[in-house]
Structure 1
Amino acid sequence: MNAEQKKKAMERLKKLLMLSRSTNENEAAAALGKAQELMRELSVSEDDLELTDYTALEADGLLVRPGRSVPVYVMRLEGLIEKAFGCTAVWDRHQVKCKIIWLGQKSKAEISAYSWTVLARLLKNKREQYKFTHLLTGHTPGKREALADTFCEGWVAGVSRNILQDTVSAKDKRLLDLFLNQKFPNLIDLQSRGAGLTSGQVNSAYTDGIRAGQKTHLHSGVQNTKRGQVGQTQYLGAA
């Protein structure tokens, strides 16, 4: 059985399992029997079946340069989106351009990748604006970059105050972990770097970041079509 045939068989299996929940006892029993027979034939479990609704979507890393450590504010932005939509992300830094890969149920992975792209672009612009308007003079280049990173950390903290965390069931978490392990069995922890400034140096930049971030709102705004695809997403940006 090739990949296309197995895909069609899995779709048929899904339909049989749906019929097995019928209020018609005879219809339900017949559908369940056929479903169990097909599951044995395909050597699949219920978890395997549910994981067909999961996907991995790539997005441009935008805020990370190849060969460089990942800034703390980037990891926090990733974590913010993970909590908002119940997905998880991994990094691919072995290409000319760094990629971030969002994993989860298809509709959630799509909105997570979209949210990442919009927020990362917005933060990149905010960082450059802050460097130009607040840090143009009176700082060494290294200090200017460190303060800009600190501003970004504050910005992400400000955005997080407008976020409602997605409620992930124990079953969904287990399936997500299973999918992650299937896709990336040899995943290693990613090293990140902070701004490297003392507390007395960061207060102003961090506070400025929080104030700017609080003006940004993240809206899930997803409408699923009958096929489970994202039909509509709201714009993310400054209020």
Structure 2
Amino acid sequence: MNDEQKKKLLDRLRKLMALSRSANEHEAAAALEKAQALMREFSLTEDDLDLADYGTAESPAVFVKPGQRLPIYVAMLSQVIEYAFGTSAVWDNSGRDTKVIWIGPLSKTEISAYSYTVLARLLQKKRSEYKFVALLQERNSGRRDARADTYCEGWVQGVRNNIMPCTPSEKEKKLSDLFTGQKFPFMGKADMRGTGLSASESSDAYSDGLSDGRKTRLQAGMKGEKRSQIKETRYLEFGA
């Protein structure tokens, strides 16, 4: 059975399962009997039906190129999106451009990819501004980059502090693990890099980032909305 045939079969099964909840007892019994027969014939389970609503969406990694180690603040940013929408992120550097692949219910993966892309590009702009303005007197380019990275870590934490978490149910966690195991069986851990600065060297940069990050709001889209909203209070002229 190819993917298209399986999709049609799962669609048919979902319709039968919906009919099995009909107020008409005879109709409900007949639909349930037919659904169970099809599931036995094709060795399908209820998890297979639920997984039909799971999928992936991609977003550019923005900060990362193939072969490079992942900056800690980039991993933190993906965790913010996971925290906000209850999806999971995996990193794909097999092609010319590194991508983030979001895994979860189809209703959440697209909005996760969109939100990550917008936040990552905003952070990219913030990092450049901070590196140019706040670190202008720092002559050592390596330390300037390290302090800019520390600023980014603070900024991401500041954004996270504004977010109400979306906690997946135990069933959603189970389905997500099943889907990930099926689609990404050889997934490994990302190789990350820190700034290498001591706590005293990084405290000011982290505090600056934390303060700026708290001005950014990530609002999850409500039912019926296609996208989340990301607002920065500095641009809207309110907030701290």
Task: Give the TM-score category using the shorter length.
Answer: over 0.9
Q: CA deviation at 1:39?
A: 1.0
TM-score, normalised by the number of residues in structure 1: 0.94
List per-residue Cα deviations over 1:135-155 (Å, max 9, x = no partner): 122330000000000000000
List per-residue Cα deviations over 1:181-202 (Å, max 9, x = no partner): 1111111111211111001101
In structure 1, what is the Cα distance between the partners aligned to 2:217 and 2:172?
Answer: 26
Would you say the 8 A contact 2:86–2:166 is kept in 1?
Answer: yes
The corresponding residue for 1:151 is 151
In structure 2, what is the Cα distance between the partners aligned to 1:159 and 1:44?
Answer: 42
Q: CA RMSD in A?
A: 1.2
The corresponding residue for 1:167 is 167
The corresponding residue for 1:184 is 184
Q: Secondary structure at the match of 2:57?
A: strand
Would you say the 8 A contact 2:220–2:229 is kept in 1?
Answer: no
Of 226, 231, 237, the match for 2:231: 237
Map 1:88-167 to 2 at 5 A.
88-167=88-167
TM-score, normalised by the number of residues in structure 2: 0.93
In structure 2, what is the Cα distance between the partners aligned to 1:178 and 1:3?
Answer: 17
Q: Secondary structure at the match of 2:162?
A: coil
Q: CA deviation at 1:237?
A: 2.9
Say whether residues 1:205 and 2:199 are aligned partners.
no
Return 5+ residue gaps in structure 2 as ranges.
234-240
Say whether residues 1:85 and 2:85 are aligned partners.
yes
Return 5+ residue gaps in structure 1 as ranges.
225-230
Q: Secondary structure at the match of 2:102?
A: strand
User: AA paired with 1:235?
Assistant: Q
Q: CA deviation at 1:2?
A: 3.8
Q: How many residues align?
A: 233
Q: CA deviation at 1:44?
A: 1.1
Q: Secondary structure at the match of 1:91?
A: strand
In structure 2, what is the Cα distance between the partners aligned to 1:7 and 1:138?
Answer: 58
Say whether residues 1:6 and 2:6 are aligned partners.
yes
In structure 1, what is the Cα distance between the partners aligned to 2:228 and 2:82?
Answer: 18
